[in-house]
Structure 1
Amino acid sequence: MILTTAAWVSGLLLAAAAMMAIVRIARGPSILERVIALDVLLAIIMAALCIDMALNHHLNHVPFIAVACVVGFIGSVTVSRYVTDRRNS
């Protein structure tokens, strides 16, 4: 009962955070802010999957979460290096 209530509250908070991240992705103003918002959205999705795993007592999403962490990190570093190199040129 308590776990279910906590999951619903967490889900609502994650949904609100996801909407705010999507607004930031759409409005910008810079590419770096959009990339950060995409990373936040990816973290929100991973947190939602973790809540699902806790509620349903399984570990099916762990490979996706591990790959998403690596892809998110590499993507952020790549974009920030690209923007930094572009500003220095």
Structure 2
Amino acid sequence: MNPLDYAYTVTFVLLGAAVLLTLYRLVRGPSVMDRLVCLNAVSVLLVTFIAVEVALRGDHAYIGLVITFALLGFIGSLTAARFAERRAHDRG
């Protein structure tokens, strides 16, 4: 194994740990906004995971998938922000 393979392995382990910790926070929660932020973080971690996999394999076929997940995460964040704004406005 060359040093780059070790770097990829460490990156995947750290991304996996980050996803597990984020999913734990998603379940524990206490508020809806915490859960929405966690979903956004999971989408960013998923995009990062796929991007590292693309770099590891050197296959650029998954770039469209990376862009799709990034756009879906962005749209989800916008939807969550609008939800939070409306909820705050309704409360007074």
TM-score after normalising by structure 1: 0.91
1:22-37 map, 5 Å: 22-37=23-38
1:50-65 map, 5 Å: 50-65=51-66
Q: Which of structure 1's runs of 4+ aligned residues deviate more than 3 A?
A: none
CA distance in 1, matches of 2:66, 2:34: 23
Gaps of 5+ in 2: none
Aligned residues: 89
Amino acid at match of 1:68: F
Q: Which residue of 2 aligns with 1:72?
A: 73
Q: Which residue of 1 aligns with 2:86?
A: 85
Amino acid at match of 1:16: A
CA distance in 1, matches of 2:83, 2:45: 25
Between the two proteins, what is the percent identity of the paired residues? 27
CA RMSD of aligned residues (A): 1.1
CA distance in 2, matches of 1:29, 1:44: 22
Gaps of 5+ in 1: none
Q: Which residue of 1 aligns with 2:49?
A: 48
